């Protein structure tokens, strides 16, 4: 019976992993999970028949290629299925009933969030806020999740974990904004720039680089400062000399304020630019709230500590391996997910052992 339940855990994990692949591909792109109902090739959009959608097996049999167009299906698909199957099996052996199924749900959220954040630098609210609610509901339904006997105590502990997670990381975000909220770049020679509106969309073009306007501003208070190296024209008219201070919806030049919704284009040359930026996204704040809702306040502290160490080690390793070349920046969400997973697979015991050393 034990072998059967273990096999069931692994198979269920692989099936859930296949569903997570659909979430990872569709959610950040705004594609419904129910339309189309069946999986489709990311290259040619061919609907995949059931016999080509068997977790792990189908990808291996097709050598990672679509049977229709021959396009490459990323190895991420089979990796997620194997990873989820392995995690489900490990959780079953570690916790059994009744906790393992709850942790299956939680690990599924961690895996989906990790791969979406790596590819798109976002964690959807369906995972963070939805996961926070799911954690609270699970704690109320299963008080043992919080190590409590009362549903109300368990619910309170879950809520406290979510609040602590969100609160601590919110302080980090705000502190990082104060310390590193602006980045100035000075050009060796004047760079041509254009601000262009096309319907509801606007872009900022500096030299040969194009930036979507909405991607520059994370919050209403953000200001983008352009320091011109010559005259600037706005819809054919020359603007007064001085820095251009852009908010998302308006432009300030000296004492004059212009509504960007009524402008078509601004152009000139730049000597320098000051770009608003965030030390960390608010998706990470909500993600840690989700972790706290499922695991409690102690896990929140462990997750912050361990993910920070892992992130520092990975950052230093990236610098050494890149040898001065351009390198990609990994978002913080995957480190939070790894820290939370470590808590499930030995973090409690490690923390207990560490503090026991001070009681001798």
DSSP string, 261-330: GG--EEEEEEEEEEEE--SS-HHHHHHHHHHHHHH-HHHHHHHHHHHHHHHHHHHHHHHHHHTTS-----
Q: How far is CA 292 from each of CA 127, 188, 277, rounded to the nearest angstrom? A: 14, 48, 27
Co-location of 174 and 295 in the same domain? yes
Element (H, E) at 230: none
Angle at 135 between CA 175 and CA 34, to 5 degrees: 100
Among 96, 122, 151, the domain boundary falls at: 96
Co-location of 7 and 67 in the same domain? yes
Tens of each residue's pLDDT in the chain, 360 residues: 678 888 999 999 999 999 999 999 889 888 888 777 777 777 777 777 777 678 888 777 777 777 767 678 788 889 999 999 999 999 999 999 999 999 999 999 999 999 999 988 899 999 999 999 999 999 999 999 999 999 999 999 999 999 999 999 999 888 877 877 788 889 888 889 999 988 888 999 998 888 889 888 888 888 999 999 888 999 888 888 889 999 999 999 988 899 998 888 999 999 999 998 877 778 899 999 999 999 999 999 999 999 999 988 887 777 777 665 544 567 899 999 999 999 999 888 888 777 777 766
Q: Are 311 and 91 in contact (CB under 8 A)?
A: no
Q: Are 157 and 296 in contact (CB under 8 A)?
A: yes
How many beta carbons lie within 10 A of that of residue 74, not counting itself? 14
Cα 331 to Cα 55: distance, rounded to the nearest angstrom: 28
Co-location of 138 and 194 in the same domain? no
Co-location of 262 and 186 in the same domain? yes
DSSP for residue 260: G
DSSP for residue 179: H
Co-location of 164 and 202 in the same domain? no
Co-location of 88 and 6 in the same domain? yes
Give the CB-side neighbour count of residue 188, counting CA atoms within 13 A: 0
Specify the pTM.
0.83
Cα 329 to Cα 277: distance, rounded to the nearest angstrom: 14
Range of the domain at 8: 1-96
Among 72, 96, 120, the domain boundary falls at: 96
3-state secondary structure of 38: coil
Among 231, 254, 276, the domain boundary falls at: 276
- Residue 215: CB partners within 8 Å, gap ≥ 6? none
- Residue 5: CB partners within 8 Å, gap ≥ 6? 92
Token pair, residue 314, equals 């990975």
Co-location of 293 and 353 in the same domain? yes
Co-location of 104 and 235 in the same domain? no
Token pair, residue 193, equals 């720039």
Give the CA dihedral 211, 121, 138, 88, nearest 10 degrees.
150
Co-location of 62 and 88 in the same domain? yes
Co-location of 216 and 235 in the same domain? yes
How many beta carbons lie within 10 A of that of residue 245, not counting itself? 16
- What is the pairing mode between strands 201-206 and 244-246? unpaired
Token pair, residue 117, equals 């954040």
How many structural domains compose the chain? 3
Co-location of 34 and 84 in the same domain? yes
Co-location of 315 and 225 in the same domain? no
């Amino acid at each position: 019976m034990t072998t059967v339940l273990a096999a069931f855990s692994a198979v269920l994990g692989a099936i859930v992993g296949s569903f997570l692949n659909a979430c990872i591909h569709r959610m950040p792109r705004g594609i419904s999970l129910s339309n189309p109902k069946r999986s489709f090739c990311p290259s040619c959009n061919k609907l995949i028949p059931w016999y080509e959608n068997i977790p792990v097996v189908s990808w291996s049999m097709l050598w990672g290629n679509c049977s229709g167009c021959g396009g490459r299906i990323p190895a991420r698909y089979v990796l997620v299925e194997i990873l989820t199957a392995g995690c489900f099996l490990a959780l079953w052996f570690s916790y059994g009933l009744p906790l393992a199924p709850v942790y299956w749900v939680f690990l599924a959220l961690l895996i989906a969030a990790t791969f979406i954040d790596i590819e798109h630098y976002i964690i959807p609210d369906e995972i963070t806020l939805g996961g926070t609610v799911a954690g609270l509901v699970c704690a109320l339904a299963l008080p043992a999740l919080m190590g409590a006997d009362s549903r109300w105590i368990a619910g309170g502990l879950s809520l406290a974990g979510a609040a602590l997670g969100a609160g601590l990381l919110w302080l980090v975000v705000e502190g990082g904004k104060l310390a590193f909220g602006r980045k100035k770049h000075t050009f060796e020679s004047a760079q041509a720039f254009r601000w262009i509106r096309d319907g509801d969309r606007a872009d900022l073009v500096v030299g040969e680089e194009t930036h979507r306007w909405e991607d520059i501003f994370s919050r209403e208070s953000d200001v983008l400062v352009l320091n011109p190296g010559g005259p600037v024209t706005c819809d054919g008219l020359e603007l007064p000399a001085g820095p251009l201070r852009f908010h998302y919806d308006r432009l300030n030049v000296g004492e004059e304020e212009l509504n960007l919704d009524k402008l078509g284009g601004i152009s000139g040359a730049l000597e320098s630019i000051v770009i608003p930026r965030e030390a960390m996204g608010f998706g990470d704040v909500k993600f840690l709230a989700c972790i706290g809702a499922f695991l409690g306040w102690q896990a929140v502290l462990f997750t912050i500590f361990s993910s920070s160490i892992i992130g520092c080690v990975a950052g230093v390793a990236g610098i050494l391996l890149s040898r001065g070349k351009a390198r990609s920046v990994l978002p913080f969400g995957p480190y939070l997910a790894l820290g939370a997973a470590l808590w499930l697979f030995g973090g409690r015991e490690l923390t207990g052992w560490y503090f026991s050393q001070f009681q001798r």
